[in-house]
């Protein structure tokens, strides 16, 4: 794709309380509505009005926070939206491929081709305390081995139905063509799945495959399977290094760089002017529990940051050595955070602001023109193909971005003025995957699943 053809891609990371650590206290926030479907509908329709690519839902299996299950919520939102994509997070460590393939295919059918799967291998060791599989929380290399095989099985299940799986001679005589439905007979290290799936191939072929993570194993999984990668990079230099690294890995899997979109998280604070944005940032900073924020930031250091002045430089000489025995969570985030501190020589106040606004992702404060400049620079300089937006206060921050930043991006010719297609793949500019198993079955004259070619659909 030529430089002039490239357009920025934008997702919204849905979090009703807002992504700033103090955002839930803001007068415009409504954190108590985090279980209210009407609030999610408002947010989804606002994002769709702004021509945003998709809604991104995180998930995990532990903790005491209030969190709706993604498939349930996204299915409800599919009914009240038309174009916006629906990305749900599902762990490969604590699920079965058949169930995930079926649920995602169902969401893709219900949304008419707008589903996506955010593939994660796990969130934290606490997840393992609630799920009996594997006897706890597997160490990282095993989690990624499981994840690789899990994705492969899931894709084969989607491919177990050809496109022409149904023949209907009348509205009252719907029949399933069993000659075009096949067992997959997958036998692997971790999963044995006979198949076929009990729902036709998704409208997009596969729901868009998203992967979240920046570790070495995560980058390799993304290069092999993913079409979008949600990563955390806090500086342009680090983002460019990551971008080049991941894109260079695709060739060994027979893929080209345009088949993977790299989309870091972005927590922006937008004002009409830079001064207005600074005032908004100061307001949010004043809402922080400073004691708690300093305690959280101090976990990387051998000293307590509360013993320093806020405008002192972060004491990089006091960074704790990484614990090699650590077996949990987002293993790459620590280095992302510390790398940004080193590159930008941050003060403790700046470090707290970044940590509060982006939980490891890049944050940027400025006028709507400056924010547009920032986004365009990362696009042009090959630091990103797009961003996962982290609204600091919901819905205020997203409304400001849509009303101010998006028109400026459109004026520059780097963001759509209308949705390009009906499916998320079309809007992302991604190709529809071919059914890889069809040629194999055709060549082998694979027998029908049943002796009778047709039977009424149930």
Q: 381-410: per-residue pLDDT in tens?
A: 999 999 999 999 999 999 999 999 999 999
Contacts 24+ apart (CB under 8 A), 291-298: 293/21, 293/352, 293/355, 293/356, 294/348, 294/352, 296/355, 297/348, 297/351, 297/352, 297/355
Residues of the chain predicted below pLDDT 70: 1-4, 164-174, 323-333, 438-458
Residue 312 maps to a domain: no
Residue 423 maps to a domain: yes
Query: How would you class 39 by CB atoms within 10 Å of its CB: exposed for 0-12, middle for 13-18, buried for 19 or more?
Result: middle
Q: Please give the Cα distance from 347 to 341 (Å, whole number).
A: 8
CATH code for position 61:
3.20.20.30
- What pTM was estimated for this model as a whole? 0.90
Residue 348 maps to a domain: no
Residue 303 maps to a domain: no
Residue 249 maps to a domain: yes
Within 10 A of 79 (CB to CB), how many other CB atoms are there? 9
User: Contact 47/14 with Cβ under 8 angstroms?
Assistant: no
**Beta pairing, strands 166-168 & 174-177:** antiparallel
Residue 125 maps to a domain: yes
Residue 441 maps to a domain: yes
Structural domain of residue 422, as residue ranges?
A: 9-272+361-456
pLDDT reported for residue 179: 80
pLDDT reported for residue 422: 96
Q: Please give the Cα distance from 242 to 213 (Å, whole number).
A: 11
Q: Please give the Cα distance from 319 to 302 (Å, whole number).
A: 6
Number of domains present in the structure of the chain: 1
Residue 367 maps to a domain: yes
| Dihedral sign from CA coordinates of 430, 434, 437, 440 | negative
How many CA within 13 A on the CB side of residue 299? 12
Hey, is 209 helix, strand or coil?
strand
């Amino acid at each position: 794709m030529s430089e002039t053809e490239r357009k920025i891609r934008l997702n919204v990371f849905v979090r009703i309380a807002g992504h700033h650590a103090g955002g839930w206290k803001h007068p415009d926030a409504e954190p108590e509505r985090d279980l209210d479907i009407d609030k999610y509908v408002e947010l989804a329709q606002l994002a769709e009005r702004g021509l945003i690519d998709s809604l991104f839902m995180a998930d995990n299996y532990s903790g005491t926070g209030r969190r709706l299950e993604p498939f349930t919520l996204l299915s409800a939102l599919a009914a009240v939206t038309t174009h916006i994509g629906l990305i749900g997070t599902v762990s490969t460590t604590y699920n079965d491929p058949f169930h995930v393939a079926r649920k995602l295919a169902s969401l893709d059918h219900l949304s008419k081709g707008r589903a996506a799967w955010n593939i994660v291998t796990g969130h934290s060791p606490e997840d393992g305390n609630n799920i009996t599989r594997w006897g706890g929380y597997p160490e990282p290399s095993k989690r990624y081995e499981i994840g690789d095989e899990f994705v492969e099985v899931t894709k084969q299940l989607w491919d177990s139905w050809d496109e022409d799986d149904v023949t209907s001679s009348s509205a009252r005589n719907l029949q399933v063509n069993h000659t075009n439905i096949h067992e997959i007979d997958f036998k692997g290290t971790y999963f044995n799945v006979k198949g076929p799936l009990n729902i036709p191939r998704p409208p997009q072929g596969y729901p868009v495959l998203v992967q979240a993570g920046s570790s070495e194993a995560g980058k390799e999984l993304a290069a092999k399977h993913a079409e979008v990668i949600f990563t955390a990079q806090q500086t342009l230099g680090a983002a460019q290094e990551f971008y080049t690294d991941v894109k260079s890995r695709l060739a060994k899997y027979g893929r080209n760089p345009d088949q993977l979109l790299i989309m870091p998280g972005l927590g922006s604070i937008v004002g009409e002017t830079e001064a207005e944005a600074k005032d908004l940032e100061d307001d949010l900073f004043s809402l922080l529990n400073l004691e708690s924020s300093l305690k959280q930031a101090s976990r990387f250091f051998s000293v307590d940051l509360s013993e320093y002045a806020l405008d002192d430089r972060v004491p990089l000489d006091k960074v704790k050595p990484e614990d090699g025995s650590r077996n949990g969570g987002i293993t790459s985030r620590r280095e992302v955070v510390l790398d940004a501190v080193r590159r930008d020589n941050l003060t403790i106040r700046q470090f707290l602001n970044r940590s509060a606004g982006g939980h490891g992702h890049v944050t940027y404060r400025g006028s709507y023109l400056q924010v547009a400049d920032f986004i365009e620079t990362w696009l042009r300089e090959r630091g990103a193909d797009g961003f996962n937006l982290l609204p600091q206060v919901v819905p205020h921050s997203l409304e400001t971005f849509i009303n101010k930043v998006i028109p400026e991006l459109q004026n520059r010719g780097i963001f759509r003025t209308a949705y390009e297609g009906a499916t998320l793949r079309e809007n992302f500019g991604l190709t529809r995957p071919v059914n890889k198993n069809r040629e194999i079955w055709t060549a082998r004259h694979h027998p029908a699943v049943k002796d009778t070619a047709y039977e009424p659909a149930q």
